[in-house]
Structure 1
Amino acid sequence: MHEERSWWKEAVVYQIYPRSFADSDGDGVGDLQGIIDRLDHVASLGVDVIWLNPVYESPQADNGYDISDYRAIHDEYGTMADWEALLEAVHDRDMKLIMDLVVNHTATDHEWFQRSRRDEDGYREYYYWHDGEEPPNNWESGFGGSAWADDSEAGLQYLHLFDETQADLNWDNDDVREDVYEMMNWWLEKGIDGFRMDVINLVSKPDGLPDGDPDSDWVGIEQFANGPDAETYLSEMAAATYDDYDTMTVGECLDVDPETAGDYVSEDGPLDMLFHFEHMFVDAADGWLSPAEWDLPDLKAVLSKWQTELDGWNSLYLTNHDQPRIVSRFGDDGEYRRESGKLLGTLLFTLSGTPYVYQGQEIGMTNYPWSSLDELDDLQSIGKVEAAIEAGEIDGFEDVREIVRARSRDNARTPMQWSDDENAGFTDGEPWLPVNPEYESVNVAAAESDEDSILHYYRELVALRERHETLVYGTYNLLLPDHESVWAYRMELDGDAVLVTLNVDDSETTVTLEDAAGTTELLLSNYAEPTETGATLTLRPYEARVYELEAQ
């Protein structure tokens, strides 16, 4: 698995959420020209690939994941000429651009759905329709409530595994797949370098649309994830589109384990890598509105399993546009924001796989202190809270305020903090989401002027990974699996070894590691003056160290 070299295995990816990155025209919404204006910041990190969240024409009910025209640019973001200028600017800086592919569903505004509801020219079979007063099964939407919605014009119900504005395409229809592949090739011909594929393992639904498991948190997911023809359809997609190009593909896949994932990303699989969610549930095992305390051994166990059991290539991420900020979730967003931000970056860049950096992660942005449901834009958060109120599970937002503060997707979507100017330098207008009040001290300009900042440390991490291919292709060996605060592991490749020690705790911790004895070289630490090396290590709060070990 690790023997064959590929550019996308050695790449570092930077994710841009266009709506929140940079606003060039003062309307409060980020846009393509804003990205171009700030592209040198991205390039300065040393990254190789930009993953661009959706910029297609959309009613923006789910911020672009509800696409109404795959071949047009949403006017708030700019024009196709602006997008073409962005692609050229990215390539001029020796970076690549991958686009978000959202083809499990379309917006209900899409021409295909409009023709489907009118039963025109065979389009009725482009979506899932049901004739009856009651839903055909008890499937639930990922955003809360039933996965079936009434359509007054058609006089039928249609399936939406997410918001009501996002109708699921019927991939069993040959015409649907052909239209999707034609659209993908259109973008590939324009010169993009690959796709990130949204919830791509949900495209194949089971025959007969059976009832879901009423005891599961998201009823039906055990049936519509990894459906009977999912791998077949993705293999067909690859052969019809990107297999003819030098691309990178990553699929967002729900409800997968390493064994299931291997069907998609093994040597003969249709995808280069995938995003799984297992480590994103270590603090949410009881459901979205019932978070649990997470502990380090559990997080270690999950990521260690994926490092050692996956027959394929790993993607490495700790946050994205759908997850809370990592220093608020897995670190300390107070006293040790800087140290924990660096430590979590160290983890990300020293495991085998392709690391993904989400905008703002490189400066240690934190969660927002939401105080009311009216402040939120996130359909998932709003839907979950409103469904709980309707079911009588809670009285109102105040009952789950701290949960929303910890879990809402909007935590990652507040505007990028560029400076201590008004609105963090994101816009001259009224921002579409509130700016985090920490922006006066946590921003790119401040990080640039501080040599000890998380930003500068991320550049060191990128450079470290480029110098040591053991951190890219090495074999992972976990040490101290049950230690409650120290995560230690060796990466080994062709006789070379790197030791990583992380104290994921706000207190000093001493451990004995025979791997650290003998001749070692400290490659990187997030403390300016690390303590001496040796078998016994005393690690300070959120201290991270990376050692090169003497060749064996």
Structure 2
Amino acid sequence: MGQSWWRDAVIYQLYPRSFADSDGDGVGDLNGVRARLPYLRDLGVDAVWLSPFYASPQADGGYDVADYRAVDPALGSLADAEALIEDAHALGLRVLVDIVPNHSSDQHPWFQDALAGGPCRERYHFRRGRDGGPPNDWQSLFGGPAWTQTPDGDWYLHLFAPEQPDFNWDHPAVAAEFRSILRFWLDRGVDGVRVDVAHGLVKADGLPDHGDKAQLLDLTSAPFWDQDGVHEIYRDWRLLLDEYEAVGVAEAWGPTLARTAQYVRPDELHQAFNFHHLTSPWNPAVQREIIDSSLAAMRAVGAPTTWVLSNHDVVRHTTRLHANADDRDALRRGRAATLLMLALPGSAYLYQGEELGLPEVRDLPDHVRRDPAFHRTAGKDGFRDGCRVPIPWHGTEPPYGFSPPGAETWLPQPNSWGTFTAAAQTGVPGSTLEMYRQALAIRRAHPALGGADNLRWVSAPGEPVLHFERQAEDAVFHCLTNMGDRPVPLDIEGDVLLSSMPVHQQVDPDTTIWWSRHDPRPTRRS
């Protein structure tokens, strides 16, 4: 795919603590990832993105970084990280790593200096209080005020947990440090970075109150999200990324797709996650509008659209898209959504375990939960642990090959996951794992698929089905998804390539089918 490999890549997100455990302590690690890289090559993905594996007190699953240039001892060593990158490249896989520039751990040397009244205090947001309380009305995403008071009476800002103080990006030392961090990992061969909270680095001048809309996820007027100043940071980063022919991916929650597209203008980052797609319901009118508007917004800035259904922060899509169904019906809809997503123009992101059809784990005991928001909101929020349960590899009981027999995993696995293991599904026609493998092989080989913005609707607006075609040269690819509650007749010309469920003379609800035909007409686009 050359230097533009990312435009149509399928990228697999690894949450290292939950992927594979090599040393038997119940926590996944980098050597566990290394041992499973051939599985990812055989799955057919183009790249892997690793969630943070840096030195961290683990107040927020590794997103509280104490040392950006060191590997957390529970996950391995710097030598292990370098070997992982080398092994992945030998298998034809590219590697992206997480960069966490909005905040550090409170154990970071800079913040420890700041607490002691040293010069690093200016590299964070410290303020005097107001009327006996915090400096303003901002709220933490994890519950409670976004400010914590220090023994000397000042308050510091943390949009997330108190253990995650926000950097002050107005200070030049912060920008210089992250350029150095980027270069450190690029020098070790990574092919790109995913930027955590890319929309949050710059705060409005003066840190004004949010007012009556004091909700952290209000993206339309929040003085701490999506400020125009963030774009100067990414223009600077782009110059560095271009030196290494590396890719930058923004985790940017924008109020509109047009705002999100600003992060991927030609002189900024390369991709931005499409959270408008991820959060859209299973509804044909909504899905069609999101697909059209996503393609249009990214087309306007010359960037590829990205598609994602699951990640480490949201309920797994097999459960989320059909929340009131049992696991069997939920998986049916999840499989249909996957084939729809993988047929769209642009780049797709997969989250570990979705290729196994894993459901969300919804019955974790309170005492094992690690999500800080769960504990800061007395169980009213913070349910990210359910998508982070270690994935099953083989066997009929926990730990399913994730760890050696008898080990207790850091989050407990359900006793019912024996049918979901990779071993139980490998080579089994119709299994979810084999469906993913087939889909990725077709996506890689079919001339009409990939990054080209070549989607044309066949179904009319208002229909319960989404049916589009994509054409390149003389090959035409069709994707049809039935989102209605009744079967629809199937009358096709061409060869069936793949379907999410068995299809004969009709396409049942919650089913997607791919087929292809030969057509010498010129390529079209709408």
Displacement of 1:367 after TM fit? 1.0
Q: How does 1:291-370 map to 2 (within 5 A)?
A: 295-310=283-298, 311=300, 312-331=303-322, 334-336=327-329, 339-370=332-363
Structure 1: distance between partners of 2:411 and 2:114: 34
Shift of 1:36: 1.4
For residues 499-514 of structure 1, the aligned pairs below 5 Å read 499-504=478-483, 507-510=485-488
Shift of 1:497: 3.4
Residue 504 of structure 2 is aligned to residue 531 of structure 1? yes
Q: 1:206 to 1:319 in 2, by over 3 A?
A: same
Normalising by structure 2, we get a TM-score of 0.90
The answer on whether the counterparts of 1:96 and 1:193 sit within 8 Å (CA) in structure 2 is yes
CA–CA distance in structure 2, aligned partners of residues 149 and 352 of structure 1: 45
Cα gap change, 1:36/1:211 in structure 2, threshold over 3 Å: closer, same or farther? same
- C-alpha distance in 1 between matches for 2:363 and 2:311: 19
Alignment of 1:36-435 (within 5 A): 36-120=34-118, 122-132=119-129, 133-152=132-151, 154-215=152-213, 217-218=215-216, 221=219, 222-239=222-239, 241-266=240-265, 268-282=266-280, 295-310=283-298, 311=300, 312-331=303-322, 334-336=327-329, 339-370=332-363, 372-383=365-376, 385-386=377-378, 408-419=383-394, 420-428=396-404, 429-435=407-413
* Structure 1 stretches lacking a partner, 5+ long: 284-293, 387-396, 533-537
Maintained 8 Å contact 1:212/1:219? no
User: Aligned residue pairs: how many?
Assistant: 507
Q: What is residue 491 of structure 1 aligned with on the other side?
A: 470
- Tell which deviates more after alignment, 226-235 or 372-381: 372-381
Distance (whole Å) between structure 1 residues aligned to residue 147 and residue 120 of structure 2 = 19
Q: Distance in 2 between matches of 1:16 and 1:425?
A: 17
Which whole-Å CA distance do the structure 1 matches of 2:50 and 2:308 have between them? Answer: 16
Partner-residue secondary structure (3-state), 1:70: strand
What is the one-letter code of the residue matched to 1:523?
L
Secondary structure class of the residue paired with 1:237: helix
Following the alignment from structure 2 to structure 1, what is the Cα–Cα distance between the partners of residues 204 and 447?
43
SS at the partner of 1:424?
coil
What is the match of residue 27 of structure 1? 25
Match of 1:394 in 2: none
Partner SS, residue 227 of structure 1: coil
Distance 1:491 1:146 in 2: 49
Using the alignment, how far apart are the partners of 1:409 and 1:485 within structure 2? Answer: 32
**1:468 to partner: Cα distance:** 2.2
Identity of aligned residues (%): 32
1:346–1:544 Cα contact (<8 Å) kept? yes
SS of the equivalent of 1:167 reads: coil
- Given the superposition, is the C-alpha separation of residues 214 and 463 from structure 1 closer, same or farther in structure 2, using an over 3 Å criterion? same
Superposition map of 1:456-467 within 5 A: 456-467=434-445
1: distance between equivalents of 2:137 and 2:465?
44
Query: What is the CA–CA distance in structure 2 between the aligned matches of 1:40 and 1:337, rounded to whole Å?
Result: 29
d(CA) in 2 for partners of 1:371 and 1:338? 20
The residue type paired with residue 443 of structure 1 is T
Pick one of 513, 516, 526 that aligns with 1:548: 516
**Structure 2 portions without partners, runs of 5+:** 522-526
Distance change in 2, residues 1:382/1:495 (3 Å): farther
After superposition, give the CA deviation of every residue in 1:155-174 in whole Å (9 maximum; x if it has no partner).
Answer: 31111111111111111111
* CA shift digits 1:322-376 (9 cap, x unpaired): 1111111125653335543432221121111111111101010001132643232
Residues 250 and 469 (structure 1 numbering): CA distance in 2 closer, same or farther, change over 3 Å?
farther
CA contact (8 A) 1:256 1:276 kept: no
Alignment check: 8 A CA contact 2:447 2:475 kept: no
Amino acid at match of 1:452: G
Moved more, 257-266 or 348-357: 257-266
RMSD over equivalenced CA pairs, Å: 2.4
1:205 and 1:228 in contact (8 A); partners too: no
Amino acid at match of 1:19: R
Deviation, 1:522, is 2.2
8 A Cα contact 1:250 1:272, kept in partner: yes
Amino acid at match of 1:124: R
Q: 2: distance between equivalents of 1:139 and 1:479?
A: 47
Counterpart contact for 2:331–2:359, Cα < 8 Å:
no
Residue 47 of structure 1: how far off its partner (Å): 1.1
Structure-2 change in CA distance of 1:477 and 1:212 (3 Å):
farther
